[in-house]
Structure 1
């Protein structure tokens, strides 16, 4: 009976694979943020591309 308790404690304290779990959670949160703010992200990127195009045209026109 004592070995079962010891093995249970060892299993609970084992941190092997914890890095993988953390990475999966971080990726899941990032995916959720992208899904929630998808439209706003598209608008921001589109505005950045438009601004960059306008500025490059100004440089070439001078």
Structure 2
């Protein structure tokens, strides 16, 4: 599997990843949000990021 980015849908999770030193690539509007108020956060894909996401 070859990925270069991963999308995070909550600001809380994105903030936690940023504080842990992971790199954010972009912030985009959430296309599934009818009101247009939510954003999604695009992070650089790394194995370390995947391990961090598996933690609770």
Q: What TM-score, normalized to structure 2?
A: 0.20
Q: What TM-score, normalized to structure 1?
A: 0.19
Larger radius of gyration: 1
Higher helix residue share: 1
Higher strand residue share: 2
Higher relative contact order (CA 8 A, sep 6+): 2
